[in-house]
Amino acid sequence: MKLPFELALALRYLRPKRTFVSVITLISIIGVTLGVAVLIVVMSVMTGFGEQLRERLLNFNAHIKVAVNGKPMADYRRVRDTVLLNEAVAAAAPFIIGPVLVETQPDGEESPQVFTPWVRGVNPVLEESVSSLTSTNSIIDGVFDVDGGFVVGLQMRTMLNLHVGDFLAVHSARSFHEFRAAQEDGREAVLLPDDYEVRGVMDAGLYEYNEKFVLTSLQDAQELFGLGDAVHGLGVKLHDPTRAGSVRQQLLDALSPGYVVTTWEDENTQILEALKVERNVMFFLLFFVMIVAAFGITSSQITFVVQRTPEIGTLKALGATGGQIMQVFFAQSFVVAVLGLTLGFGLGLLALEYRNEFLLLLRDMTGLEIFPASIYGWQELPSKIVPGDLIRIAAGSLFICLLAGVIPAWNAGRLKPVEAFRHE
């Protein structure tokens, strides 16, 4: 099949030659390739981070939380039965959460350390159906035994230099209230803490949770906060977490006034929105790489037009129209863009496939760890390829590259034969 003469001539001009123009063209293709590859890698990694973060947030937290506005929930068993009637609800478990003052009890000459974590009281049997906290996979040292003991986070263990079997002195809001009440009544009182043994160390997968949360049993938490038989709320797991918004309204309609229902998205709005904004900002910033590569295409095409000016005059004298001349040089931009896009997609997907091997090699050679596992909590760099992102990258890059060739092609098309032959 014969090609249109505009495309055939464009391909002929693009044949590799030992000229400065060929070098510029090669640099233009490499620029497009690198720009597309960087966009694919960064957007896929950012998407992978977002997916992993959502997964870990859902593993640690319930999809929906039900609480009473401003006070503990005394009739949580009845509320739990009502919540479980909803077909979208998979499970529900009571919880207690609140801040405490923790003091270590070191041996020898070491001074005690003080920290203010959040205690989360759970029913191990019911909590297993709502979150992954009680899973053996999250326990990296010791056992999950919260009856009269604590399970602390990985970062908290490091900060306080804790070991399984150590004891913590815990001052709760109840003990402070009792001490204040005794002072107001004129009675002598001593602020005595509750002692809890460190039974296990967990890795929730998120630095903030590993640093600030400790787990104990529901009964111990009720005693710490003086709740009696009440709890702070119910954690609810859904069959489909994406339906949390609609199910929240259904639960509000089913429960009596005074109850507050929040979703996992409500509690993590800031971090989810920040991740979304960062992802969009990274896309637009890195897209300027494509604009820089497009300037390379413009530069090479301008050089082509100047170099081929006599030939443009000959073609015009033989009857070629300005539009046909424009198509010749516009086709060159199109070919360069397609080559760059194809190579960029190949390089980007290859880099994603071997991303972890590259990071490991970089760490071994230089000692530099770009994504420390101690901070991000991922042993491997996550990534997820979204077809929609690939389409956006391809369409946007192709448009920018073609736009870069418009001005040189237009200048070539408007040349007059007489002016072209004057260069001879």
Q: Are residues 378 and 291 in the same domain?
A: yes
In the DSSP assignment, the letter for residue 15 is S
Q: Are residues 281 and 359 in the same domain?
A: yes
Helix, strand, coil tally for the chain in percent (to 5):
55, 15, 25
Helices (H), 255-372: 264-267, 269-307, 309-317, 322-353, 355-366
Question: Which residues make beta-bridge pairs with 198?
Answer: 150
pLDDT mean over 178-201: 74
**Using an 8 Å Cβ cutoff, are 83 and 237 in contact?**
no
Q: Are residues 347 and 254 in the same domain?
A: no
Paired tokens of 332:
């060159």
Q: How many domains does the chain have?
A: 2
Question: Could you say which of 252, 267, 282 is where a domain stops?
Answer: 267
Q: Are residues 223 and 346 in the same domain?
A: no
- Please count the other Cβ atoms lying within 10 Å of the Cβ belonging to residue 304: 24
Q: Are residues 183 and 80 in the same domain?
A: yes
**Using an 8 Å Cβ cutoff, are 313 and 417 in contact?**
yes
Question: Could you say which of 267, 296, 312 is where a domain stops?
Answer: 267
Q: Are residues 48 and 87 in the same domain?
A: no
Indicate yes or no: pTM above 0.85.
no
Tell me, what's the pLDDT at 366? 78
- Please count the other Cβ atoms lying within 10 Å of the Cβ belonging to residue 43: 23
Tell me, what's the pLDDT at 146? 85
Question: Could you say which of 248, 267, 286 is where a domain stops?
Answer: 267
Q: Are residues 326 and 257 in the same domain?
A: no
Tell me, what's the pLDDT at 380? 72
Residue type, 52: Q
pLDDT digits (tens, 9 = 90+) for 342-356: 999 999 999 988 888
Nearby residues of 204 by Cβ (< 8 Å), 6 or more positions away: 56, 59, 60, 133, 138, 153, 210, 213
Report the candidate in 133, 136, 122, 59 with the shortest Cα–Cα distance to residue 93: 122
Q: Are residues 74 and 222 in the same domain?
A: yes
Q: If DSSP codes are grouped into helix, strand and coil, which group holds residue 256?
A: coil
Paired tokens of 140:
């990296």
Highest mean pLDDT among 11-20, 46-55, 147-156: 147-156
pLDDT at 280 over 90: no
Q: Are residues 141 and 36 in the same domain?
A: no
> Quick one: pLDDT band at residue 270, thresholds 50, 70, 90?
confident
Paired tokens of 353:
């496939």
pLDDT mean over 89-105: 89
Tell me, what's the pLDDT at 66? 92
Query: Cα(341)–Cα(344) distance, rounded to whole angstroms?
Result: 5
| Between 373 and 7, the higher pLDDT residue | 7
Q: Tokens 């040292």 identify what position? A: 141
Q: Are residues 185 and 155 in the same domain?
A: yes
Across 82-86, 163-167, 304-308, least confident range: 304-308
Q: What percentage of the chain reaches a pLDDT higher than 90?
A: 14
Tell me, what's the pLDDT at 191? 66
Nearby residues of 297 by Cβ (< 8 Å), 6 or more positions away: 28, 32, 333, 336, 337, 401, 404, 405
Question: Which residues make beta-bridge pairs with 121?
Answer: 96, 216
Q: Are residues 313 and 387 in the same domain?
A: yes
Supply the mean pLDDT for the chain. Answer: 81
Geometric angle at alpha carbon 179, from 178 and 185, rounded to 5°: 90
Range of the domain at 244: 62-267
Query: Cα(63)–Cα(243) distance, rounded to whole angstroms?
Result: 9
Please state the φ and ψ torsions of residue 407, each to the nearest 5 degrees. Answer: -65, -45
Q: If DSSP codes are grouped into helix, strand and coil, which group holds residue 389?
A: helix
Report the candidate in 9, 3, 1 with the shortest Cα–Cα distance to residue 412: 9
**Using an 8 Å Cβ cutoff, are 239 and 48 in contact?**
no
Q: Are residues 44 and 31 in the same domain?
A: yes
> Quick one: pLDDT band at residue 106, thresholds 50, 70, 90?
low
Paired tokens of 243:
């339906």
Highest mean pLDDT among 46-60, 66-80, 403-417: 66-80
**Using an 8 Å Cβ cutoff, are 168 and 114 in contact?**
no
> Quick one: pLDDT band at residue 375, thresholds 50, 70, 90?
low
pLDDT mean over 166-178: 79
